[in-house]
Structure 1
Amino acid sequence: MAFELIAAKREEMGTGASRRLRHAGKLPGVIYGGDVAAVSIVLEHNPIYYALKNEAFHTEILDLVIDGEKQPVLLRDFQMHPYKQQVMHIDFQRVNMNEKIHVKVPLHFVNADVSEAVKLQGAKISHIITEIDVRALPAELPKFIEVDLSAIKAGQSIHLSELKLPQGVEMTALIRGGDTAVVLASSAKVAEDDAAAETPAAE
């Protein structure tokens, strides 16, 4: 748990109160889940704003400290201002470390540049899916799933069932019987045909 967030219970509610908090550099939020009622909280805005730029902040179990009491949570949602660099609201979910949970984790595509498809066959690599939903105990949640493209050839694809998952981690789509393609290496001719189709004909 690399991230520790300091918060306090929020007493004032309503649009006006939220506006005053944001003006003071604070961030309104809520924590919910488990057998406990939802609690409105307030945090410092800037640490959260910069933490959201870190991919791990979206998938790791976070330590949320509310008035000195620490509890494990997951980031579940946040709202950004339409044009300002400002987080408007943030939601956290309480986590039971002994119960499996669902989390979306990003896919990291590696070794495309050394694959036969790209290096020798001039294929175009298309990322069809960039994140997947997994189920695991909180302590076993991966920060990301690696997709190794070193062996892919032109015309081939890699499906969900071919991804290597850490022990204890299940893929929701596979549990439900789905085996979607994750990445596709289009042959050079297909890539050229696609490019031609996207180019308007000369008048």
Structure 2
Amino acid sequence: MKFNATTRSDKGTSASRRLRHAGRVPAIVYGGTADPLSIELDHNEIFHALRKEAFHASILDMQLDGKGQQVLLRAVQWHPYKPQVLHVDFQRVDAKQTITTKVPLHFINGDASPAVKISGQIISHVMTELEVTCLPADLPQAIEVDLGELDSGGNVYLSDITLPQGVTHTVHGAESDLVLAAALAKRGGDTAAEAGGDDAEGTQEAAE
């Protein structure tokens, strides 16, 4: 995915405020062998780009003053209540160096699972993204989690899925096998039905 940027020399709070009033967004790009560089972006362009999921988990082609370089989105600062981007951080990407970033999880076939189709349960997406490490060329835009075999009251674990080739999960501390999704009974559903059934039977017995 491609976006445009230009270098900026003015720094500080006042300069950033002037940029925003002019429909621009202050940003920074860092990493690699070069020094951190202050840049600016067109607000409308970056605003619409940030609404695309792939923009958050892809190697991006930043056209900086007309010259392309690969970067990864690292942080976005939004206005607390306005639909306005205040600041963006990018990291330079070296094709030969591994990167660590978060990739969204895409859950599929949930409606076809025994948990939903037979038991009428709901599926909770315990995790919505996964932190992975890989080379830039191997970075997936998303990782699919197939829920088609999920049974009543069951879980789907990280060990149940196959990560794309060259991609590994980033483990933190004593982290064990992660639960990605869980099948749960609907609140008040089966329990209420069972209670109603017992009451009905009790009423019938009393009548007899």
Q: Normalising by structure 2, what TM-score? A: 0.87
Query: Which of structure 1's runs of 4+ aligned residues deviate more than 4 A?
Result: 174-177, 193-196
- Change over 3 Å in CA distance of 1:192–1:50 after alignment to 2: same
Partners of 2:46 and 2:65 lie apart in 1 by 17
- Unmatched 5+ residue regions in structure 1? 197-203
* 2:3 matches 1:5: yes
1:180 aligns with 2:178: yes
1:166 CA displacement: 0.9
The equivalent residue for 2:18 is: 20
**8 A contact 1:160–1:174 mirrored in 2:** no
1:135/1:195 Cα in 2 relative to 1: closer, same or farther (>3 Å)? farther
Structure 2 residue ranges without an equivalent (≥5): 193-208
Percent sequence identity over matched residues? 49
2:67 maps to 1:69? yes
Change (3 A) 1:73 1:21: same
Mapping of 1:89-128 within 5 angstroms?
89-128=87-126
- How far apart, CA to CA, are the structure 2 residues paired with 1:101 and 1:44? 27
Task: Note closer, same or farther for the CA distance 1:169–1:62 as it changes in structure 2 (3 Å cut).
Answer: same
Secondary structure of 2:188's partner? Answer: helix
TM-score (norm 1): 0.89
For residues 194 and 9 of structure 1, do their structure 2 counterparts lie closer, same or farther at Cα, with a shift above 3 Å needed?
farther
In our comparison, the structure showing a higher alpha carbon Rg is 2
Work out the CA distance in 2 between the residues paired with 1:123 and 1:6.
47
1:132 is aligned to 130
Q: Tell me which amino acid in the other structure corresponds to 2:188.
A: E
CA distance in 2, matches of 1:160, 1:150: 15
Label 1:77 to 1:194 Cα distance change in 2 as closer, same or farther (>3 A): farther
CA shift for structure 1 position 67: 1.5
Aligned-pair Cα RMSD in Å: 2.0
For 1:31-46, what aligned pairs fall within 5 Å after superposition?
Answer: 31-46=29-44
Contact 1:173–1:179 at 8 Å: present in 2 too?
A: no
What secondary structure sits across from 1:152 in the alignment? coil
> Contact between 1:31 and 1:94, CA under 8 Å: does it hold in 2?
yes
